[in-house]
Chains A and B, each alone.
Chain A
Amino acid sequence: MLRFIIRRLLITIPTIFVVITLTWGLIRLAPGNFYSGEKKIPKSIEHNIREKYGLNKPWYVQYGRTMSHIVRLDFGTSLKYEGQSVNAIIVRSLPVSAGIGFLAYLLALSVGVFIGSVAALKQNSAWDYLSMALAMIGISIPNFVLGPLLVLGLSLNLYWFPPARWSGLISRGIVLPVLTLSAIYMAYIARLTRAGMLEVLRSDYIRTARSKGLSEKAVVIRHALRGGIMPVVSFTGPALALLLTGTVVVERIFALPGLGNYFIQASLNRDEPLILGIVAFISITLLLMNLLVDIAYAYLDPRIRY
């Protein structure tokens, strides 16, 4: 087990290296600069800016310098937002993204697993059809449609919740973003749970458990559910990583100061250190989450050994 973890951690390093190199190359290819705008700037000032940020050096020098900073986990200072370090921006915006993402996933997980289990237990009943129909709707409606619809109904007409803006994790303002964000995951989890449960409920060990005279509750919760949510667990890794590191669309619609919002703005601003910092952070999170999922697998499924 320990060897497995170490091996996986070691693979992570070259992966992140490749991701950052590719991102760095793509930023180079994009025309325009962080300082370019509608109005032209004096040539000498442009020259001085390029000098200051080392943009007039050959590409390998720039690349080498960027990499040496990243190795030390120092992503530098944002080019657009004067004096703000990339690390500080990530530290500041992560709690917003992670808070919303975690709540959304919690909601998605509890409701999704419940609906999926009920659907599986009552297969082919009206409940099953209803919940699966809802899940289908949840998967098909993109969040940039669902978000504004929720805002229209619950905010603009009923004035129950503010339509946007961040005022802390414990506030009425997070209800709509959390709902919007969780819908699609809820739907996926419901479908995955149903599929997993259906498979498990037909398996031999459940029959054994039933024939031993265990109560239905014990069979379902202690035995069936544990095997049935395996697909959900493997889905959780990447899903949680993406949720925690911010979702561009929802953060934009609800004007939340999260990582996703910074990411899209950084790309539009050609803010190289900020883009690289966020990309590196997201890839590290993603790889770590996948590793955690693999470890969780070993605990949940007795057949898996590393």
Chain B
Amino acid sequence: MRFWRVNFRLTFPLINRLLRKTMAGRYYRQILAALVLVSVAVGSISCRAMASNEEFFGRIAPAPGNVLRYITGDEPESLDPQKTTGLPEARILMALYEGLVEYDPKTMDPIPALAERWDENNDSSEFTFHIRKNARWSNGDPINANDIVWSFRRSLAPETLARGASLGFYIKYAQGYNSGAVFVHDPQTDKFLLESGFAPASEVPPPLSERPVAPASEYKPTEKEKVPDADTPFHQFMHSPTRLTLPGDEKSRNKLLAQDPKLQAAVAGKEFVKIAGKDIGVEAVDDYIVRISLSQSAPFFKGLLANQFFRLVPKKAFEQYKELWAQPGHIMTCGPFRLKEWKPYNILTVERDPMYWDAASVHLDEIQFFPTADLPTALNLYKVGEVDALYNHAVLNAWVDFVRGKKDWMDAPEAVTIYININTTKPPMDDLRVRKAFDLAIDKETWIKWRKITKPLPGITPYGIFHGYPLPQGSKFDAEKARQLLAEAGYAVTKKGDGSYQCPKFPVNQVEYLFPTATSNKIMAEYMQAQWKQNLGITVPVRAMEFKTFVDARSKLDYKGFSFGAWSADYLDPFTFLSLYYTNENDNSTGWWDKKYVDMLNEANRTPDQAKRYELMSKAENYMLESQPIIPVETGAVNWLKKPYVKGMYPNAGSLFAWKFVYIERDSAKWDYSTPSTAD
């Protein structure tokens, strides 16, 4: 204080004299006035900053009109539901299109949408959907079962190039259709070759959907209405033993045949019939009943149907405009809202669709989606009150501490798991003991404490999402045991003079930790590196990679040692996480696959009793964890903001919102003064 005063007295006359000497001297008073103005401005900035509403983050002022302004993340790739796979698009598409079912705004369980109800057979391998009779497209055309069948066929057609097509592969023959595969037809007997003769014999019985039709006993008797006894030729076809499918492409087919002489002999003289859209297990039983037959038991399938991939697309617009059907001016939709305006990279506005079957209960007149991927920009827009809600993970790491005390910050677990992949195909990580040692040497509790908002992760299924699912025990941090395991594997850890550890025999040059460039990933990499250094005496090099380069390297197992891993649920069932290790196509980027694990999961999915099914799945998860293809790290947490006057929007596990339930509340007494509960 004193220093400032002395300086001020000394310098002010000096400035005074300097100013008088120059041309500016004439404007001395004006300059003085300007200085006063500037100090008033600065003063008011700091006063305002202090007086800002402490309860919430930034200004609370709903826009005039019944409008929601929402930042959805990246610019949408397309408005064609089957051409996108991302969450930013998913949220926009949820406003524009409906599927057979919709996500419950709180629990994300399937709720009726185009289908007003559904029946499920006893082993969840066949579903019958009853379509509501008042559903309409945005141009007023009615929607019936044939529209739905057409849309399913289109989504799985190979020429649609849908990147999310594997979501539909549970449907019988869908994978074959999508990959352009062929059936083998015998022209003499007019019969098709069956899979059972060539696939390795399995002890497990085929799902009900592949056994002879028996509707009376197949469906649960608890339904309100009796299941229509509509046995059609197509239904018989679905319920007949699975046909053999071979690759449609001649080169790969010949390669396959060359490996299997028995198959080659059986195929000789037969003709190949390309699997067509009409062969997949989706059938219009009558104008308002759609039956879907699966190739396996999948109780989670009905929940999957709310995914954007299964939302209904219009045959009429598609036939008229082909690939450009989803462009503004051509687009036809079936959701609670229709497209009003789309200015790319700026704004996408949807308005209430009067043709929607439930238009009367849609609250909002309009939703404005802003594609703003830059996080500070999104937060600024929220703070000044230009937007009403942000997409998940919009709050920067550095801001979390400040924002999480506010009443408009959403605090809830998320169906996202974060873990470390291990390349189990390359030494030294092909040794189970080494993998276990690296897992035990990480103090995950401290990490989660430091991260503040995330939750623990004992296995691959997230914590706090699936109620009633017995989560695995998870490993306890045990550095001593880790060192012991490493020693057993031939890499003795010794103590140095200063008390730190060293592991001279460990081939450090054969491991590294690879992660996609992002500050939070880097911090995680550094933490793991420090833990391994501290507890095992091994300094694993860490390396950042641009996102697409990273994904490419990881999926080709083109990394040594460790790579960052994260998975978000496609649907709310533990299977979405467990299925990462289900197929033998290295979707999991670890190189680990085990037939026994697949059998265990299949058994679980055939179990109608949910508690029993969860138990069996949990057993499979534990079995997988025994082999340690991954090191579980943490369960994600939602991290976004919503103004208190935005109601009907809940921090659900997938951050997907059924917009028709969202509304703007003008009465401040009814506002949300904390995270709204997602409990039902």
Contact = CB atoms under 8 A, between A and B. Distances in A.
B548 A31 contact: yes
Interface in B169-213: 169, 175, 178-180
A31 B549 contact: yes
Interface in A242-275: 252-257, 261-262, 265, 268, 270
B548 A126 contact: no
B322 to A, nearest CB: 10
A82 B323 contact: yes
Contacts of B23: 118, 122, 125, 127
B163 interface: yes
Nearest to B47: A157
A83 B158 contact: no
A36 B552 contact: yes
Nearest to A130: B24
Contacts of A33: 548, 552
A39 B344 contact: no
Contacts of A10: none
Nearest to B545: A31
Interface of A (DSSP majority class): loop
Contacts of B553: 31
Interface in A14-69: 30-33, 35-45, 48-49, 52
B548 A155 contact: no
B549 A39 contact: no
B323 A45 contact: no
B670 interface: no
A126 B24 contact: yes
B326 A83 contact: yes
Nearest to A162: B386
A163 interface: yes
Contacts of B24: 126-127
A5 interface: no
Contact of A127 (B22, B380, B566, B587): B22
- Of the candidates B180, B380, B383, the one having the most CB atoms from chain A within 10 angstroms of its own CB is B380
A43 B585 contact: yes
B374 A255 contact: yes
B346 A158 contact: no
B427 interface: no
Interface in B384-408: 384, 386
Contact of B343 (A31, A159, A257): A257
Nearest to B516: A38
B559 to A, nearest CB: 13
A84 interface: yes
- Of the candidates B158, B178, B346, B546, the one having the most CB atoms from chain A within 10 angstroms of its own CB is B346
B555 interface: yes
A151 interface: yes
Contact of B83 (A38, A82, A118, A268): A82
A257 B19 contact: no
Contacts of A80: 77
B374 A153 contact: no
A165 interface: yes
Contact of A125 (B21, B178, B344): B21
A148 interface: yes
Contacts of A43: 179, 585
B345 A165 contact: no
Contacts of A92: 344
Contacts, number: 155
B538 to A, nearest CB: 28
A93 interface: yes
B432 interface: no
B578 to A, nearest CB: 16
Interface in B543-576: 546-549, 551-553, 555, 566
Contacts of B48: 157-158
A42 B548 CA distance: 17
B279 to A, nearest CB: 16
A156 interface: yes
A84 B548 CA distance: 23
A70 B476 CA distance: 60
Contacts of B552: 31-33, 36
B22 A83 contact: no
A82 B326 contact: yes
A155 B161 CA distance: 45
B377 A164 contact: yes
B161 A52 contact: yes
B22 A122 contact: yes
A290 B294 CA distance: 65
B587 A40 contact: yes
Given A31-B553, A36-B552, A81-B78, A157 B49 contact: yes
Interface in A144-160: 148, 151, 153, 155-159
Contacts of B326: 82-83
Interface in B22-58: 22-24, 41, 44-45, 48-49, 58
B273 interface: no
A163 B85 contact: no
A297 interface: no
Contacts of B175: 42
B524 interface: no
Contacts of B77: 80-82
A141 B647 CA distance: 43
Given A148-B376, A255-B374, A158 B44 contact: yes
Contacts of B21: 125-126
Interface in B315-374: 323-324, 326-327, 343-346, 370, 372, 374
Given A84-B344, A163-B380, A253 B165 contact: no
Contacts of A39: 85, 164
B18 interface: yes
B548 A261 contact: no
A166 interface: yes
Contacts of B164: 39, 41
Contacts of B44: 158
A252 B83 CA distance: 26
B162 interface: yes
B83 A41 contact: no
A30 B566 CA distance: 23
A35 B551 CA distance: 12
B19 A32 contact: no
20 contacts: A30-B549, A31-B548, A31-B553, A32-B546, A33-B552, A45-B162, A80-B77, A82-B83, A83-B324, A93-B345, A125-B21, A126-B18, A126-B19, A127-B24, A151-B380, A156-B380, A157-B45, A158-B41, A164-B381, A265-B75
Given A41-B164, A82-B83, A162-B384, 10 more contacts: A48-B180, A80-B77, A126-B21, A156-B58, A158-B45, A163-B381, A256-B345, A257-B343, A265-B75, A268-B548
User: What are the nearest 8 A-B pairs in CB distance?
Assistant: A32-B548, A44-B179, A257-B345, A163-B380, A82-B78, A41-B163, A257-B346, A31-B549
Interface of A: 30-33, 35-45, 48-49, 52, 80-84, 89, 92-93, 118, 122, 125-127, 148, 151, 153, 155-159, 162-166, 252-257, 261-262, 265, 268, 270
